[in-house]
Structure 1
Amino acid sequence: MKIFGITTVAILAGSTAFAGGMDIAPAPAPVPLAPLPAATPNWTGGYAGLSLGYGTGSAEVEDDEDTTAVDESADIDFDGAIGGVFAGYNYDLGNAVVGAELDLNAANFDLDDDVGSIDEVHRLKLRGGFKAGSALIYGVAGAAYASAEVLGDDFSDTGWLVGLGVDYLVTDNIVAGAEVLYHQFDDFDDTGIDVDATTLQARVAYKF
């Protein structure tokens, strides 16, 4: 009995000493999670809007051509307002966006010396660009149609265009932007006159 009591006391003493000398490991610090990349807008869908701006250009008589619209010695400059409506569709590929657009514009490009004016500029455009946050920066290429009244006669022709633009999503559905386009019409309506024009237009659209 005495031996049992001594053994019990020894075990309890040893347990107490062991418990007092044991260090409890601290809990591991939480590992911070990497921030998720900011979501970029999805541009897929149709849109329609209005544009308004300014254009300038020149009509240059080709050498050795029988011109029917103006005197052969005249190279004519023009400028004025341009504005209209447009509609298109974009397809979002991730970091890139492609699409197509049609715009119809009334113009008031007055030719020098009261020769006449360019009254309409319509365009069918292919667009392709990349996203930068809420902005879309893109290039343009396509076909253009223009009509003019010169010295009392009506003329019209098709040509080509290239340009650059930027769109910005103000809200999920409202897009604001600007576009600069260069147009070229060679031998405009068989007159022997080459016409080039550059336009800059501000744009606002509703994205569906």
Structure 2
Amino acid sequence: MKKALLAGAFVLAAGAAHAGDWTGGYVGAGLGYGVVDVSNNVPGGEDYMFGLHGGYRYDFGDWVVGGELEYDWSDIDVANNTVTLDNVSRLKLNLGYDFGPGMSYLIVGAAEAYTSGLGDDSGYLYGIGAAYQVTEQWIVSGEVLQHDFDDFNASGLDVEATTVNFRASFRF
């Protein structure tokens, strides 16, 4: 019984130990899913993605701002397997609302898509996210991002991609 009470007290103390300060740098990894749509009735595709990210946030009280670099690897075949989305890099700006150990945020930024078969192109992205501080150092989060690439690499094709990512980050 003493061990159970001690374990319960430890869990409560660990949960209350951090007040939800979001200021600081972080690095992490994510796993997600991407869906690519192409204009002009060109078949799109979908598949899993995984990647690495790193950034910095500053907590102003109720509001949190930050910047992040992210790189995802994928293998999404489009256009009847003649083009493959290999990688996506992102530069993201975040504006979030601080709920203590939880935060919801809006995302805007730039993306670079790297393909086999159609070249590379730059576009923009926007989305939403939510994060939770499991401990002072560990954060779990989820994001939904919309990517738009107009006239991809001067091909005459517009490409849109929607990604959903689940991530774990270590704060330092």
Tell me the equivalent position of 2:126: 162
Work out the CA distance in 1 between the residues paired with 2:143 and 2:31: 10
Superposition RMSD on alpha carbons, in Å?
A: 1.5
Q: Does the 8 Å CA contact 2:56/2:66 hold for their aligned counterparts?
A: yes
Tell me the equivalent position of 1:189: 153
CA deviations on 1:83-139 (whole Å, 9 max, x unpaired) are 110000000000110000000111111115222210011100000011123111000
Work out the CA distance in 2 between the residues paired with 1:142 and 1:190: 21
Stretch moving more, 81-90 or 112-121: 112-121
The structure whose residues are more often strand, as a share, is 2
The size of the alignment, in residue pairs, is 156
Work out the CA distance in 1 between the residues paired with 2:136 and 2:35: 34
Tell me the equivalent position of 2:139: 175
Tell me the equivalent position of 2:24: 45
Q: Does the 8 Å CA contact 2:93/2:108 hold for their aligned counterparts?
A: yes
Tell me the equivalent position of 2:39: 60
Q: Does the 8 Å CA contact 2:21/2:101 hold for their aligned counterparts?
A: no
Amino acid aligned to 1:131 = D
Q: Does the 8 Å CA contact 2:21/2:100 hold for their aligned counterparts?
A: no
Runs of 4+ in 1 over 3 A off after TM superposition: none
Percent of aligned positions that are identical: 38
Work out the CA distance in 2 between the residues paired with 1:76 and 1:187: 16
Tell me the equivalent position of 1:206: 170
Tell me the equivalent position of 1:81: 48
Show structure 2 runs of 5+ residues with no match.
1-17
Tell me the equivalent position of 1:135: 102
Q: Does the 8 Å CA contact 2:34/2:47 hold for their aligned counterparts?
A: yes
Tell me the equivalent position of 1:19: none
TM-score normalised by the chain length of structure 1: 0.72
CA deviations on 1:54-111 (whole Å, 9 max, x unpaired) are 00021113xxxxxxxxxxxx42211111111000000000011000000011111111
Tell me the equivalent position of 2:72: 105
Show structure 1 runs of 5+ residues with no match.
1-38, 62-73
Work out the CA distance in 1 between the residues paired with 2:100 and 2:79: 44
1:41 deviates by: 1.4
